[in-house]
Chain A
Amino acid sequence: MSTPTQTPASPPSGGDIHHSRLDDVSGIVPSQVHPAGRRPALVIAGASAVVALVLWLGLGLHVAAALLLSFVLYLGAIYVTYRRIGGARVAVDHLVRSLVYFAFVCAVVPLASVLWTVIGQGAGRAFDPDFLSQTMNGVTGLNDQQYAEGSAGFVGGAYHAIMGTLLITGLATLISVPIGMFTAIYLVEYGAGGRLGRGIRFLVDVMTGIPSIVAGLFAFALFTQIFGIRDAKMGLAGAVALSVLMIPTVVRNSEEMLRIVPNELREAALALGVPKWRTIAKVVLPTAASGLASGVTLAIARVIGETAPLLVAIGYARGLNWNPFDGPMNTLAVYAYFMFTKPLSPAVREPSLERAWAAALLLVLLVIALNLLARLIATLFAPKTGR
């Protein structure tokens, strides 16, 4: 323990490793580092912005090309400058930092752009009380034409689609959460390492990759077998199709969450003479509750915007249908799809496009709300600490 390991070139001071410095060891050349503030970076960033503007407005380059070119120049300038004032390590640090920021911006730009477009196009109609309370029952291309000419008001809304979305996703959640959660419990608590457990995990992985249209066809085929081809389209079929997509996500999310519950807690409960199933129900699940709940919410968010499987399994309804066990229903995604691809009046598309954008905005808001809910749940259920 206390014998110093013999280095190939022993320190000149005579072998006492504790009193030698790293730079005394021949063969190690520590890089020189000088403190360097952020001011040069800011100055270079400002200069690059000017360069970008000149390239864009002055030379007429495309915005994206101008930004990219000036970013490359920025990287070069950053590296050279910081190498000068701070040394190689500082330069690399700043270089990598800039690249990370760049990657972050690249990831955020599409998101911001989508939000911007959807809000810009949809906000006008989405919060109109009439739009939120009307269905498309009896609305025809004629109404749209009259609206476009100014001789009548805007009619037709997405009430039935909103309710359909909530109903069908709710049903899908009711189906997938118990199945997914119990599968995860089996995988973590009972089947860990066993052959059955490995088999199930493999199948779940395969299921994750199922294209959503296949899930829709599966549900449709299943319900055709049971109810015959004429009565097969119903909300429940859509819920089953969504469950096929949701279950693997729920299993995966829940499995992660159960796995990070410390084994010590399970042992503590078992050692108190608590049976295993009670240990799982009363200790493991409550400890993981926040993660489980937010995992489920994210799984819902994942399927709430599905279009293709619902189109296949549920069809398209113009009016409100509260009964998921009988007849077609509508959902926001399918509604937006139909309004966009099959406008009521092919001659006057604008009102239908307006409806499509409004439905899209409502859908995005639902997803954002679900994500916020997931965070809220995570903090509410989180194990308490502190005095």
Chain B
Amino acid sequence: MSKRIDVTDLDIFYGDFHAVKDVTMSIEPRSVTAFIGPSGCGKSTFLRTLNRMHEVIPGARVEGEVAIDGQNLYARNVDPVDVRRQVGMVFQRPNPFPTMSIKENVLAGVRLNSKRISGKAADELTEKALRGANLWNEVKDRLDKPGSGLSGGQQQRLCIARAIAIQPEVILMDEPCSALDPISTLAIEDLINELKVDYTVVIVTHNMQQAARVSDKTGFFNLEATGKPGELVEYDTTQNIFNNPSQQATEDYISGRFG
């Protein structure tokens, strides 16, 4: 249940604005890959092209290829809806559905797709996903309460549970901890470490310690200048990026000289 991602010569646009240029990288299955870089350099943009959420924005388009286990996501006969079922996503701000209970939120991916699911299977899936997101013990007594009544950190783990309930191959996370307190952040980081046993995890973070703590490989994105497209400056094992980066820009960034 985990697949590799190969990105080849990917250019990303918002209308006429060239947001990210010429990315080529391979993301290994069963690993955590982190993207770091100053804000506005296109990390979120790039992440969203990995499950075709980018094109949801009017005028947004890409050129190039993203392949998951060899299958190009942007091939003509691929349905974006199918892609998103394989590649789950967790957003920066926790966004549980306000009209749904905790349980309904977890089952949302199944129910909204009107897949039939028996009561027993639904209970099992709910428990499995919530355990997978380290949330089960905190909410098992109030599964029917609204998801929006949870704390921020719990809401974010609920969103992770919701994402893993559709059993994706890959999980993308866009700064999943930036709206959370340190304790909740720790809970999510632990969770990321567990998730990589089963999934390919890609995480964007602006917190370099976090990248160093959770990831196996790190990609550093940067902008040459404002208005220019962002680019992948360096992509290597996290060890190398933080200890002996090959690019001057990377070294400047991780040593806090800019950004």
Contacts and interface: CB of A to CB of B under 8 A. Distances in A.
Given A267-B91, A268-B97, A383-B148, 5 more contacts: A270-B53, A283-B97, A287-B97, A287-B99, A386-B146
Contact of B93 (A193, A264, A278, A279): A264
A271 B148 contact: no
Measured as residues with beta carbon below 8 angstroms from the partner, the interface class of chain A is 20 to 34
Contacts of A383: 98-99, 146, 148
Interface of B: 51, 53, 56, 58, 81-86, 88-89, 91, 93, 95-99, 108-109, 111-114, 142, 145-146, 148-149, 159, 162-163, 166
Contact of B98 (A267, A271, A384): A384
A283 B91 contact: no
A279 B51 contact: no
Given A274-B81, A387-B149, A192 B88 contact: no
A279 B112 CA distance: 8
A286 interface: yes
Contact of B88 (A265, A267, A271, A287): A271
Contacts of A274: 81, 108-109, 112-113
B99 A387 contact: no
Q: List the 9 closest A-B pairs by CB distance, nearest first.
A: A273-B85, A383-B98, A272-B109, A271-B89, A384-B146, A273-B84, A264-B95, A387-B149, A274-B112
Contacts, number: 91
B97 A265 contact: yes
Interface of A, helix, strand, loop or mixed by DSSP:
helix
A196 B177 CA distance: 40
Contact of A269 (B88, B112, B148): B112
Contact of B91 (A268, A273, A289, A386): A268
A275 interface: yes
A331 to B, nearest CB: 37
Interface string A252-273: 0000000000101111111111
Contacts of A151: none
A283 B84 contact: no
A302 interface: no
A273 B109 contact: yes
Interface string A4-20: 00000000000000000
Of the candidates B113, B142, B159, the one having the most CB atoms from chain A within 10 angstroms of its own CB is B113
A267 B112 contact: no
B82 A273 contact: yes
A272 B163 contact: yes
Contacts of B93: 264
